[in-house]
A and B are shown apart, each in its own frame.
Chain A
Amino acid sequence: AQSVTQLGSHVSVSEGALVLLRCNYSSSVPPYLFWYVQYPNQGLQLLLKYTTGATLVKGINGFEAEFKKSETSFHLTKPSAHMSDAAEYFCAVSADTGRRALTFGSGTRLQVQP
């Protein structure tokens, strides 16, 4: 069994402020973790993923995430928000050894205030 919980359906930050989007997972097998971004009326685009190795993963557009097994977390951060970061962000886990598909969290909508 696997699941993903994203804390906070809406997050608002000021331009230039730290972005922190929270993701916790549950998995009965070692998880592979993904963050996707969805801009309005578009499909999902991969930001970054954790498979094995280094637990701090760097992605596109200045985002990074750290896999913490002890906390079952994979929070997404960016040091300085830009207006163009306004979008919906989805955390996903690949832990279903049968379907080999992703299980998604419910998403966090990020607003960036000028």
Chain B
Amino acid sequence: NAGVTQTPKFQVLKTGQSMTLQCAQDMNHEYMSWYRQDPGMGLRLIHYSVGAGITDQGEVPNGYNVSRSTTEDFPLRLLSAAPSQTSVYFCASKKGAARTDTQYFGPGTRLTVL
């Protein structure tokens, strides 16, 4: 199993550009989520999905869109990049929606917005 994979690993954008961060998992997990990591702030939840076709907002959803057309994939779209979106982005998945389920994290995408 590859686990949770993310592409690209690094990305530099100019203000106003759009892009999609890719996330895929091969563990047949129902629950997937996106976090951003900023220095001194831990990880904060952007969006999450409890299954194909179902998505919802997390703690910091503004400026981001998600969709979940398959169980495996959960892309994150930046609509119009802003410098405040410079961060490291992590995708995670877990078996189901149970609070006890372990979340597995991808290697992250380091995004810089100029």
Contacts and interface: CB of A to CB of B under 8 A. Distances in A.
A11 to B, nearest CB: 15
Interface stretch (B14-22, B72-80, B101-109): B101-109
Interface residues of A, number: 27
Contacts of B4: 43
A42 B37 CA distance: 12
A43 B107 contact: yes
Contacts of A45: 105
Give the interface centre of B48, B90, B92, B103 by most chain A CB atoms within 10 Å.
Answer: B103
B100 A94 contact: yes
B20 to A, nearest CB: 19
A4 B43 CA distance: 11
Interface string A23-61: 000000000101010000111111001010000000000
Interface string A98-111: 01111111110000
A96 B104 CA distance: 18
Interface of B: 4, 31, 33, 35, 40-45, 48, 50, 56, 58, 90, 92, 97-100, 102-108
